[in-house]
Structure 1
Amino acid sequence: FLHRITSLSVAPAGAQTKDLDRLSVTLQSEVMSIPSAQEVQPTLQPDYTLLAKPLDDYRKSIVGRNLFSPPNNPPKLATTRNVDAVQGLRIDYAPDAKDPDAHHYISYQIEGEVPEGITIDPRTGKLNGTIRELGDYKFSIIATDSGFPAKSVTQLVTIRVKEPPVPPPPERKFDVASQSKLTGLVTGKNGAEGWVFSRTDGKTLKLKEGDEMKLGDVSGKVKKVGATYMVVETDGKEWTIGIDEIVSDAFKRGQVD
């Protein structure tokens, strides 16, 4: 058979697709054969002794060749990455693959033995999920571009799962009650009052029966103002403050009695 191309039209394919690197090719050809030629020609048997490499390698390089765009470059990605994770907490990692070719996007997939509960977002490569068991976990992330022919790179990921850190001790608050004491018991026109002086703010609380007292973490209602003491009720339990006694000391004693 003899073939002859009668017309060839090449135009940008941007009007039909969003891929700006593609061209639309329209080709018409004529075929001529001798009368004795068979309609189905036997396949030529190649002489493999003349090949410097396997036939499939030649076929891939010819069929997979893009004649209308620059050669496709593979994405750029670090070959290895160590990721620290905390047992039971969500993993925070996404490979930072870059494609040197414009208008190409990258898709991701996992290869190898993946820890239970871990998945990957194929669009961003972000790992999702948590790991319950301590230890080191190794698998690969493959980044593939959208060029023709597509190119891929692989990153070996090692996730090191550690125990959660020990929480810091709670911040110690300033004990206002330890800086307050009953300084006086006064009887006047307003009735009996217990005077509690707070050295923290330099003020004196003048408390009568029924008044609420709050000094830092110590709070309660004044039940009685006596001649040498004052009775306070906290959570249904009464405790006594003596004259010149520190409020926090009286409260602690009242919890034990």
Structure 2
Amino acid sequence: MSKRERILSMAVGSLLLLFVVQWGINKYRAAVRTRTNLITQLREENAEQQQTLLEGAYAENQMDEYIARSLPSNRERAQSDYQSWLLEMLGSVSVSDPRVNPTTVTPSGDLYNRFSYSVDGGTDLPSLVGLLHSFYSKDYLHGISKMTINPARDRSGMLDVKMSIDVLALSAAPSDTKPVASHSWRTEPDVSVYLDPILNRNFYEPPNQAPVFDGRKTIEAIVGKSSTTPLTFKDPEGHRLRYELISKSDQKGTLEQVIGQSTVKLDPRTGTVSIRSNEKREFNLLVRAVDDGYPSRVSEQTLTVRIVDPPPPPKPVEKFKFDDAKQTVLTALVQGRQNWTAWLNIRTRGETLKLAVGDTFDIGSLKGSVVEVTPKYVVLESDGKRFELTPAGILAEAAKTAKSIPQAQMDPSIKPSDEEGVAEETEIEEATSEEGAILDEEAVIINQTVAESR
């Protein structure tokens, strides 16, 4: 065999070996899968059988319970025993003229017999609640299939009640079984648990809520005077409230209490408390608010009453004085023949002051004099301070920028050379033609008009 043939034969043998190994692995996996499925199936069957056993045990226990609650399997005895119990139960809850009549007996194969009864009588609403409680507290296999309630025609507050009742007697129950003695776990032993939610139930709106106190818990009254304070209770439904004072001795509601030398009165409609006391003291007051909802709800609150001295008389309030300086505006700077003048318009008075250098003014909170008037501003002095006021400026606002005057400026010494300069300027101004002065004055008035319009 040549080398090539040996290599070919080895390759073919390797492929055959791989095929055999793959087949073995697949065979093993199939066997494991089959075993796993079988185990899962057996477990499910076991669980189903366990569930069946549990259901059977539950059904057996349930059947034992039903047998214990069943009437005797003997028809005559079952019918007689249950009718006697109905009459006894109706008498215990004060039903007037009770009537219990057997109507039909309906068998259901060999499982049970259903006995039907017709019951009627007269009662009031609390007794009707007691009747239903007594009926369902007895742990028979019974129920009310139909009940009709109508107001009694000849008795106020009474009701005519008619009921159709069904009860079962299991065929597996003993024929001489004794009446059920145990109380049903489905109802509360005490009937009062059901009386309040049933008798006080409002069918036309949500359950009524009690009023809520929403005021101060401390009341102050002035000694020797009658003081009034309104109580602040709020009702969630907006019902009308009635107020009472509660006596500590008997908890009864009153409208007036005397505590020492203090007399307390309460308006039942408005809830206004009136207190008069001749001595300074402190005591507690218990009040009650009752709404007119259905059923009526009550809320109580303890208040602390303090009898105190009258407050000191109030200090006289100074009348507000309007500051004219805040409404005074520099409307114009006018040049005349001799000098410049500042026109201050006091808007609150409808008055215009025309002030030249040296003139004084008294406007609102500001008093002072005019120090200098230029074509662009006026310098005013007030309380030893100077400030500038420009056209359209407000006097009070400009005064806030006032600065103290240096000592040297308060007593200025005028030198002769200064006087000569002033004289020369005066001669130049006097030499000005009358026509030029008129033109200048008109220009300044135009500036004044523009400033006032602003």
Query: Normalized against structure 2, the TM-score is what?
Result: 0.27
Structure index of larger Rg: 2
Pick 1 or 2: higher relative contact order, CA cutoff 8 A, min separation 6. 1
Query: Normalized against structure 1, the TM-score is what?
Result: 0.44
* Structure with more of its chain in helix, by fraction: 2
* Structure with more of its chain in strand, by fraction: 1
